[in-house]
Amino acid sequence: MPIPHVVAWNITQRCNLACAHCYISAGSWHSAGSELQTADCLRVVDEILGANPSPMLILSGGEPLVRDDLETIAAHASAGGATVVVGTNGIGLTDERIASLNAAGVQGVAISVDSLTPTYHDRFRHGTGALEQTLAAVDRLAKHELDFIIQTTVTRGNRAELRNLVDWAADRGAVSFNLYFLVETGRGEGMRGMSPEENDSVLAELLLLEAKYRGRMMVRSKCQPQIMRHAYEAGSDSPLLTYETRCPCGVHYCRITPEGKVTPCPYMPAVAGDLTQATFSEIWNDSELFASLRNPSLGGKCGACEYREVCGGCRARAYANTGDPLAEDQSCAYEPSGDAELVRPAVASVTYGSDARAAEMLWTPEAEARVSRIPSFVRGVVVDRVETWAKQNGYEEITAEMLSQMRSRMPVDFSRRRPFFLGRDR
């Protein structure tokens, strides 16, 4: 049975902005009445931890900072073993709130920056002065040494800014730069995404940027797994090839709505179950929707494509465009011949999302405890890399001191700021 490695939770539909593309149609006019209350949220956290004792839990919205019990939920999840990340527009990230999140065990913050030009960002986010406040929040996060991710939704309006945005994120010390491609759902249903050819051009540039910042800042595409074709065609040694699947919807990943519905991902509103009527494990294990995504019979050119096992298209976009999550992803420019040899994810023997293999070396209890705090989706890769590095450097056992030494020999920016690699000392 697949493991829920990452759970994204929209804990509210309330928001101080009204972004043009918002998949949950968030805004200030929503009320707290339909949201799961604190006690129910803590129960759901426990149910998630029962399905996976070390998931990554992304608390988002709407704007999660409007919930005054955010830290209570985060602290409960963090104490139970989850790696907790908060997704926010950053406007409410005062010094006091950052300190509060840090104290609650939050290990990272994802902040949305769609342009470094105020007229574009503020119009896209529907908030006068939003960019200025968000950039100030980024500086405060860096000051408090709380890891952060920069997230950008690419459109024709900001496509020319991509390189500058990535360079800026790296200069500010971001752990990762995530580029999102529009899925026409929620308020985004009224928007038109870029053409397949434009998407392809962006992915080619993104792959070059990933190579430029490798070891310092992760660069990833979201909702456009077609980047995998670019990585394979380029003969790249990119860590992108260490992913078991590029669309984890319902396989390693799911979303919880403010009222407790479980869906395959934030961009696919198809409901797999209701947490007010069933437990998280019951929904995760028994949902017919999840079962269909785990053993998909893909339609259209996705089903005929030789990259279907390493890419497979965005299932949320297929659902948004056709109502069928297994249909082809119409945003893709590639036209498969239908008779090419199937490309399999065989570059890495251990992939993100795979179980950690049995240790080949002796690990001290302190080192085992440290690696146990790493989110489950990355643990197998980390164990493999740690033992490979230890053997190459003449170690006979893995100790906590060795892990610290290994991390200190990584590029300084990356070793200081990556939240889950080798575990935090605190």
Going from the first residue of the chain to its last (426 residues), give the mean pLDDT of each consecutive group of 10, the final group possibly shorter.
93 95 93 95 98 94 97 97 95 97 96 96 94 97 95 96 98 95 92 93 96 90 94 79 77 96 97 98 98 95 94 96 97 93 68 60 86 73 80 87 72 39 38
- Give me the pLDDT at residue 243, please: 66
Block residue for tokens 């928007």:
191
Pairing mode of beta strands 218-222, 253-256: unpaired
Res 145: pLDDT: 92
Start-to-end CA span in the chain (Å): 32
- φ, ψ (nearest 5 deg) of residue 111: -120, 140
Quote the tokens at residue 83: 């790696």
Distance (Å) of CA 117 to CA 113, 157, 209, 263, 396: 10, 11, 21, 34, 53
Q: What's the Cα-to-Cα distance from 257 to each of 10, 59, 215, 262, rounded to whole Å?
A: 5, 11, 34, 6
**How many angstroms separate the Cα of 26 from the Cα of each of 61, 70, 126, 142?**
8, 17, 12, 28
Q: Note the Cα 372 to chain centre separation in Å.
A: 20
Q: What is the pTM of this model?
A: 0.87
Output phi, psi for 105, to 5 deg: 90, 10
Q: Residue 100 carries which DSSP code?
A: H
Spatial distance between the Cα atoms of 319 and 329, rounded to a whole number of angstroms = 9
Sign for the CA dihedral angle at 136, 138, 139, 140 comes to positive
CB of 287 within 8 A of CB of 273?
Answer: yes
Partnered with residue 6 across adjacent β-strands are 56, 253
CB 327 within 8 A of CB 318: yes
Residue 78: in which H helix or E strand, if any?
Answer: helix 70-80
Distance, in Å, from the CA atom of 385 to the CA atom of 387, rounded to the nearest integer, reads 6
Q: Find out whether 66 and 15 touch, Cβ atoms under 8 Å.
A: yes
SS3 of 85, please? Answer: strand
Q: Which DSSP letter does residue 66 get? A: G
Contact call for residues 162 and 180 (beta carbons, < 8 A) = no
- Classify residue 33 by its DSSP letter: T
Position 418 scores a pLDDT of 42
Strands 261-263, 253-256: pairing kind: antiparallel
Q: What SS3 state is found at 344?
A: coil
Burial class (CB in 10 A: 0-12, 13-18, 19+), 422: buried
Q: Which pLDDT value is given to residue 193? A: 86
Mention every residue, 6+ apart, whose C-beta is less than 8 A from residue 105. 74, 75, 77, 78, 79, 84
311 close to 228: Cβ distance less than 8 angstroms? yes
What pLDDT does 355 receive? 58
Cβ proximity of 372 and 383 under 8 Å: no
